[in-house]
Structures are given as C-alpha cells and as structure tokens.
Amino acid sequence: MSRSQQFGRSAWIALASASVLAFAAPAIAAEAPKPEAADKKDADKPDLPAFPADASVKQVTHVAGKTLNYTATVGSLPVRDADGKKIAEIVFTAYTLDGPRDPNRPVTFAFNGGPGAASVYLNLGAIGPKRIQFGAQGDSPSDPAVLRDNPGTWLDFTDLVFIDPVGTGYSRSLLKPDETDKKFFTVKTDIAYLSRIVYDWLSKNGRMASPKYVVGESYGGYRAPAITHYLQTSMGVGVSGVVMVSPALDGRSAADPDTSPMSWMETLPSMAAANYERQGKTLSPEQMAEVENYARTDFMTDLLRGRQDQAAVDRIVAKVTAYTGLNPEDVRHMGGRIESRAFLRALYRDQGKLGSWYDSNVTAFDPYPWAPDQETGDPILEGILAPTTSAMVDFVQREVGWKLDAHYEALNPEVNQRWEKNWFTSIESASDLRQALAIDPKMKALIVHGYNDLSCPYFESKMIVSQIPTMGAADRLQVKVYPGGHMFYSRPDSQAGLRRDVMAVYGAR
C-alpha cells in the first residue's frame, strides 16, 4: 500500500501473523530416529492444514447498465525452488466473464502493497465486481460487511486476477522464518516469484495469448512496473499496459531530508490540497497549478539557500503558511519544512482529532491529544481492517466455499517488519517503467493518485514522469489525480474518473 507508515511505506498497527511457519526437511537416515530427535523433528514441522482444491461460484453484477455473468474462483499456485521443491503457496482470487472465450479479452493481474497488504483493497474497494465501502470520512469498522455491486469495476472490459504475496491473505511460506526472509521478503525476490505466479496462472488457464495488464497500489505501484519489465525480459510475457494506483515509485528522495529539498517539495501540494478542501474549494488541476509551480521553483530555490538565509526563510514561512493553513509560528519553527504527521496533528488539534496520512481530510478522535507525538494508529489504516477482513473471509469461505482453518491477513505488520533492511529508501521502479515502455512501443502506462495522500504524494509521480523521455504518443504515459487520498476510489466521483481513464488505456471506449 514511504516516509514511515503506509501500504507502501509503513510500520503498521500490531496484528498477529499466522502466515510464516517453520518447515523441516524429512530425515533421510535409514535407521529409526532416536526419540529426542523425532521430537525435535516433529516440533520443527509446520502444523498447516492442507489447502483445499480451487473452488468456484457463478455470480452476477451490474455496471454501466450491463448485466455481467461471471465466475469467481479462489485457489492457489505453488512456488518452487530450483530443485522443484514447493516452498510456498500463493492464493489468488480470479473473476472471469462467462460465455464463449474471446481471444482478445484482456486479463489483469492486481497487487496491493505494504509490503504486507493483501489484494483485498483493490479487489473489494476499487475494481472487483463487488465492493464494500471503506476509507472515507464517516466509514466505521462496525459497519455491516456486506458486498454490493461495484459501479467502478473493470470486469466488463477485462478479467481480473488478484494475487496475495507470501504472508498476506491466506498465502504462506513453507520454509523456516530465516529462509522465508531470504526467499520472499526482499525487493528482488518478491518481484521474481510474483512474476512467475503470473506466468503460471496464464499457463494453467490457457491465457498466454490474451492481452495482459498489471495493476498495483502503493508498494504494489512499485511492483507493477517492476513485474511488467521482469515479465517482458525474464519470463517471455508481453504486457499491454500497466496501471499504478497511488504508487511508491521511488523512495530515494526521502533518504536525506536534511540536505535534499525533494521530499519537502513533493509533499507541499498535498498539504495545500488538504487546506483547500477544508475551505470547501474544488480540487482540480487548475486549482493546484499555483502551488505546484511554487513547489518546483521558488520553494525549491529558497530551500537550497538554507536556513542561514533569513530572507529565504521569511519567504518560505509566508508562502507555506498560506498554502497549508498552519499557524505561522509553527511553520517558522519548522523552517517551512513541514513533516507530514506534525501537519496532520496541527491541522485538527483544536478539534481533538487526527487527520489520516492516507487522506488528510479523513479524521478520527485523538485519544492522546496532549502527547508530544502521535500515540495511536492511523484513522484510515486502523478503520479499514475490520470491514475488509470480515468481507473477504465471508466471501471466500461462505460464498465461494474455499474453506481453510487459518487467519486471513489483510494487513500483516510482521511481513513489513521483516522486509529487508532499508528497503524503502532503496526502491525505485521508474527505471523499469521507462525501459518497459521503450521495449514495447504499443504498451501504455497510467499513474493515478489522490490529491490528499501524504503517504504517496501525487507530486512525486509528476516529478518522476517529467524526467522520462517521450517515447511515441504523448498519451502512452499519463498521470491523473482525483479528489481524495490514497484510496481515492472510496469517493464515487473519483472512482468513476479512475474507471473512465483506465478504459481509455484498455481501448474500451
């Protein structure tokens, strides 16, 4: 799903993880093991129930005045090592339109982020045939977890396959924890095995000749172009298009905020968006043009002049105060370099509330309003866990009938904590994106964001894309921004805008 706590940039709320368990290789000695050896071997074995066979159910949804009959399938695919030994099992949820097979019908593979997030957010929130409301102001964890037709689904123009990486959803490693970390919880190995899962699903389902697309959200937005490029160059699978939803494309700008102005420049427009929306202003490219221009010109120049240039500091304080709506003394104290969490606390302190890092105008009460630092979880991140988990477990086990005695990990903080050291400030897949576009002149790419997202600020993607050379038609690579935050699709108008823009990428309108 960063600068510290999000789908793609996070250290999450505490949840128990049951996904990574120990595995012991079978003994090969001819004689019977001694009792204590047998006890040790048994203790090392994972006590895992076998996965059930793939299960399917016929369902119906409605979108854009059309009735869609489709098959929902929940199943698993193995991950094998170089010797053919199964080392993990990956669970997928697929939706395929019923009727005669159309060889030109696309199939789209979807990934969420974290690392440590299951694909339920794109599935039941954004693009699957059914959805549950979450992530907007007024949504509650105790709201009924009832799935309804999704007016923003992509199913009318593409089949959909949602993939849960190891340690998320029901997907699991069959290795001991230290081996699991090496095989699955690194930036490089993650891309390799997930790309192979895409290949294996295509092969198993006879879809190698179909047009193929990849979509990812947050850290999944980092994954999407990296997987696309890996599929092209290592798996022999061409990709027609890639969609990056609130992506974390490049974490390096946050590596040195003391000397680099990049991270401050990238977040200022999203802070201004929060302030504008609180004033009732309509967020649009025209509304945001002034602050974007300031961020990339005078703001950047004055930041580089340094704190010892008092005239530069004064100019920054005046402008940043006006754009953010913060107290000018607070802005001066921070030198115009506004840390995003401090911004969210200051914005709503007089109401005793906190703003969410994922949508700065979604708030919750602050249970520790006098503490010097935030001592509770994010309003959105904690609020979405219950509805998404309950809805997905009910769908998988009751509706589809894929029954498993295991906990469903919608957000698994253990995966995030065990991910390779310093992963965020080293990830970068903009180079994969530009190389993938260069390899295939017919491939298209779309990056989409919400204005109010401080976890993956939209202006960062705009800055990245501005440095990628034009290769062919201008519409091959676009950035679109909508009102809302990280999950801007929780707002009906923004979800409709996403659907409209994605249909253009697929050539569906």
**Is the pLDDT at 210 greater than 60, yes or no?**
yes
**Is the pLDDT at 485 greater than 80, yes or no?**
yes
**Is the pLDDT at 168 greater than 60, yes or no?**
yes
Mean pLDDT of 362-374: 83
279-293 pLDDT, tens per residue? 999 899 999 999 999
340 falls in which pLDDT band (50, 70, 90)? confident
Cβ–Cβ < 8 Å for 42, 35: no
Task: List the single range of 149-153, 262-266, 310-314 with lowest mean pLDDT.
Answer: 262-266
Percent of the chain clearing pLDDT 70 (strictly above) = 89
pLDDT at residue 46, as a whole number: 58
pLDDT at residue 138, as a whole number: 75
**Is the pLDDT at 43 greater than 70, yes or no?**
no
pLDDT at residue 66, as a whole number: 95
Domain-wise residue ranges, the chain: 41-251+386-506, 261-376
506 falls in which pLDDT band (50, 70, 90)? very high
Compute the 3-state secondary structure of the chain and give helix, strand, coil in percent, each to the nearest 5: 40, 15, 40
- Read off φ and ψ for residue 89, nearest 5 degrees: -130, 125
Q: Which residues pair with 365 in a beta bridge?
A: 353
pLDDT at residue 421, as a whole number: 79
Please count the residues of the chain: 509
**Is the pLDDT at 114 greater than 50, yes or no?**
yes
Token pair of 421 as six digits: 């050291």
- Alpha-helical regions (H) of 306-370: 310-324, 328-333, 340-348
pLDDT at residue 10, as a whole number: 37
pLDDT at residue 256, as a whole number: 66
Give me the chain's average pLDDT, please: 87
109 falls in which pLDDT band (50, 70, 90)? very high
Mean pLDDT of 388-414: 94
371 falls in which pLDDT band (50, 70, 90)? confident
User: Which superfamily is assigned to 41-251+386-506 in CATH?
Assistant: Alpha/Beta hydrolase fold, catalytic domain (3.40.50.1820)
Cβ–Cβ < 8 Å for 456, 248: yes
- Read off φ and ψ for residue 421, nearest 5 degrees: -60, 140
pLDDT at residue 133, as a whole number: 85
1-25 pLDDT, tens per residue? 333 333 333 333 333 333 332 223 3
**Is the pLDDT at 81 greater than 90, yes or no?**
yes
Q: How far apart are CA 166 and CA 255, in angstroms?
A: 27
Burial profile 426-442: b = 16 or more Cβ within 10 angstroms, e = fewer: ebbbbebbbbbbeebee
Token pair of 43 as six digits: 């203790």
Q: How far apart are CA 118 and CA 169, in angstroms?
A: 5
Task: List the single range of 94-98, 344-348, 388-392, 458-462 with lowest mean pLDDT.
Answer: 344-348
Token pair of 177 as six digits: 């924890």
Percent of the chain clearing pLDDT 90 (strictly above) = 67
DSSP for residue 253: G
DSSP for residue 18: -
**Is the pLDDT at 163 greater than 60, yes or no?**
yes
Q: How far apart are CA 308 and CA 319, in angstroms?
A: 18
Between 172 and 348, residue with greater pLDDT:
172
376 falls in which pLDDT band (50, 70, 90)? confident
Mean pLDDT of 79-106: 95
**Is the pLDDT at 136 greater than 90, yes or no?**
no
pLDDT at residue 255, as a whole number: 60
Token pair of 51 as six digits: 């996965």
- pTM, to two decimals: 0.88
Q: How far apart are CA 271 and CA 455, in angstroms?
A: 11
Strand ranges (DSSP E) for 181-315? 212-217, 241-245
Phi-psi region for residue 18, left (φ > 0), alpha (ψ -120 to 50) or beta?
Answer: alpha
pLDDT at residue 474, as a whole number: 87
**Is the pLDDT at 182 greater than 60, yes or no?**
yes
375 falls in which pLDDT band (50, 70, 90)? confident
Task: List the single range of 122-131, 355-364, 435-444 with lowest mean pLDDT.
Answer: 355-364
Per DSSP, the residues of 283-300 read P-HHHHHHHHHHHHTHHH
**Is the pLDDT at 42 greater than 80, yes or no?**
no
Between 396 and 254, residue with greater pLDDT:
396
Token pair of 33 as six digits: 């093991």
Cβ–Cβ < 8 Å for 498, 369: no
pLDDT at residue 200, as a whole number: 98
The β-bridge relationship of strands 444-450 and 477-482 is parallel
Q: How far apart are CA 226 and CA 463, in angstroms?
A: 19
Per DSSP, the residues of 186-242 read SHHHHHHHHHHHHHHHHHHTT-TTS-EEEEEETHHHHHHHHHHHHIIIII----SEE
**Listed residue (146, 129, 158, 133) closest to 67, CA to CA:** 129
Q: How far apart are CA 250 and CA 246, in angstroms?
A: 12
Between 383 and 22, residue with greater pLDDT:
383
**Is the pLDDT at 44 greater than 80, yes or no?**
no
Mean pLDDT of 92-110: 95
Q: How far apart are CA 430 and CA 250, in angstroms?
A: 7
254 falls in which pLDDT band (50, 70, 90)? low
pLDDT at residue 30, as a whole number: 35
The β-bridge relationship of strands 148-149 and 353-355 is unpaired
